[in-house]
């Protein structure tokens, strides 16, 4: 990847420039909790975005994507938004940096990525974080790391139409090799947890299914949560986010909100607690409990939050049948991967069965990714 980026950069822009990188992410547990002020438990992974960037002394950005094999130029004013959706991520990062008082002027850049698209591994956060980090570095803006993550999140909100939480951008900025990070999305307190379970492996099985309209369905889930939260707040004014609510308080408003919103909120309140239970279990090396919580999350995401699909439910059931310790749909849902915590000795049998049986049923093979927890945004020497 580095040679490709380097060669293209030299062809288009000549000498100079610096390499920057950032990562995709996994999430052990804590799904759809971030925008509800709850906990998440992600980590950056060893695939991401690599960019070579050079300040060009003009007011224009010259950008080439290796993966889309496309060149785009844009200015830095609000009305200069490029029509290509891949380029609007970079444009959004420039605009959000400027809105925060940061300096951004013209630059030349070539980038490539190896985060599988649509797999729920946050290729878009990797792209945003790479550029947020790089612009901060190149223009010496002194913006802190949380704000860099928020630049990525606001890019999604204001330029890409997804009202996402902070998890993906946080993980891809703060990621640290070998560690998962528990983040309290309300207070932004976080803690690194070294993650090296002896005798187990984490493996992702990618259904390679991507559902259309995932972003509007995502925004709809968020609206349901906010609606349930507002109803609870009438009785309990201290409830700022849904994660502050007790299960009993949700029951009190059951007949005041649509059943659908009730089910979404029921899932979220359970999930917030499961993240804490998983962290406790990890401190005791109790992987059986971690895995059981993952199965509970899958059930909730499938039946209450309704962001799973036939292919992911199939993979989850298959994992149970093969005595995989934990398995669940990962990320926003509507397609993508399951994340599986598997004992070493069961790994080969499970992965072979998953690939064969999935292909026999759905007519295409799933992809298998072994997880390596890695560093987040950085400048490369
Ligand atoms: C997507 C969003 C995140 C988070 C997850 C679900 O990845 O970008 O903010 O809400 O879905 O946990």
Q: How far is the CA of 251 from the centre of ligand 1 (A)?
A: 26
> Is the CB of residue 152 below 6 angstroms from any atom belonging to ligand 1?
no
Q: Which of 168, 206, 261, 375 is catalytic?
A: 168
Q: In sequence order, what DSSP letters do the residues of 30-83 get, joined into one string?
A: --S-GGGT-EE-EEEEEEEEEEEEEE-SSS-EEEEETTTTEEEEE-SSGGG--S
Q: In the block, which residue shows the tokens 């996402």?
A: 164
Alpha carbons within 13 angstroms on the beta-carbon side of residue 191 total: 8
Q: How far is the CA of 332 from the centre of ligand 1 (A)?
A: 5
> Is the CB of residue 168 below 6 angstroms from any atom belonging to ligand 1?
yes
pLDDT averaged over consecutive 10-residue blocks of the chain (381 residues)?
96 96 96 97 96 97 97 98 96 98 98 90 96 98 98 96 95 96 96 92 94 82 97 98 97 98 98 94 94 98 96 98 97 94 97 97 96 95 80
pLDDT at 242: 97
pLDDT at 212: 65
Indicate the Cα dihedral angle 373, 320, 314, 316, nearest 10°. Answer: -30
Ligand 1 atom, smallest distance to 218 CA: 11
Q: How far is the CA of 11 from the centre of ligand 1 (A)?
A: 37
Ligand 1 atom, smallest distance to 125 CA: 8
Q: How far is the CA of 52 from the centre of ligand 1 (A)?
A: 28
pLDDT at 381: 80
> Is the CB of residue 164 below 6 angstroms from any atom belonging to ligand 1?
yes
277 a catalytic residue: no
Whether the Cβ atoms of residue 70 and residue 24 lie closer than 8 Å to each other: no
pLDDT at 119: 86
């Amino acid at each position: 990847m580095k040679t490709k980026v380097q060669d293209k950069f030299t062809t288009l822009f000549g000498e100079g420039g610096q390499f920057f990188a950032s990562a995709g992410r996994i999430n052990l547990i804590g799904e759809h909790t971030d925008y509800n002020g709850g906990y998440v438990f992600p980590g950056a992974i060893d695939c991401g975005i690599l960019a070579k960037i050079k300040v060009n002394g003009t007011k224009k950005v010259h950008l080439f994507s290796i993966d889309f094999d496309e060149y785009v130029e844009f200015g830095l004013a609000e009305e200069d938004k490029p029509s290509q959706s891949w380029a609007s991520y970079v444009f959004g990062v420039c605009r959000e940096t400027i809105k925060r008082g940061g300096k951004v002027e013209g630059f030349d850049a070539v980038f490539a990525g190896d985060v599988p698209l649509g797999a729920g591994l946050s290729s878009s956060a990797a792209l945003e974080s790479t550029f947020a980090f790089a612009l901060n570095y190149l223009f010496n803006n002194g913006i802190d790391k949380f704000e860099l993550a928020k630049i990525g999140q606001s890019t999604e909100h204001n330029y890409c139409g997804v009202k996402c939480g902070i998890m993906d951008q946080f993980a891809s900025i703060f990621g640290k090799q070998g560690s998962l990070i528990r983040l309290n999305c309300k207070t932004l307190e976080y803690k690194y947890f070294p993650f090296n379970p002896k005798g187990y492996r984490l493996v992702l099985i990618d259904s390679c299914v991507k559902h259309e309209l995932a972003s509007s369905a995502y925004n709809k889930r968020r609206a349901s949560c906010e609606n349930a939260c507002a109803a609870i707040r009438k009785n309990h004014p201290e409830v700022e986010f849904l994660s502050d609510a007790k299960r009993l308080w949700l029951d009190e408003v059951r007949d005041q909100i649509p059943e659908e919103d009730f089910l979404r909120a029921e899932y979220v309140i359970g999930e917030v607690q499961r993240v804490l239970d998983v962290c406790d279990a990890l401190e005791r090396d109790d992987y059986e409990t971690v895995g059981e919580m993952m199965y509970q999350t899958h059930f909730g995401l499938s039946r209450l939050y309704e962001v799973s699909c036939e292919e992911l439910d199939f993979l989850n059931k298959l994992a149970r049948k093969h005595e995989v310790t934990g398995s669940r749909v990962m990320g926003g849902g509507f397609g993508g991967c399951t994340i599986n915590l598997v004992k070493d000795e069961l790994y080969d049998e499970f992965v072979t069965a998953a690939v064969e049986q999935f292909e026999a049923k759905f007519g295409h093979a799933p992809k298998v990714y072994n997880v390596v927890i890695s560093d987040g945004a950085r400048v490369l020497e």
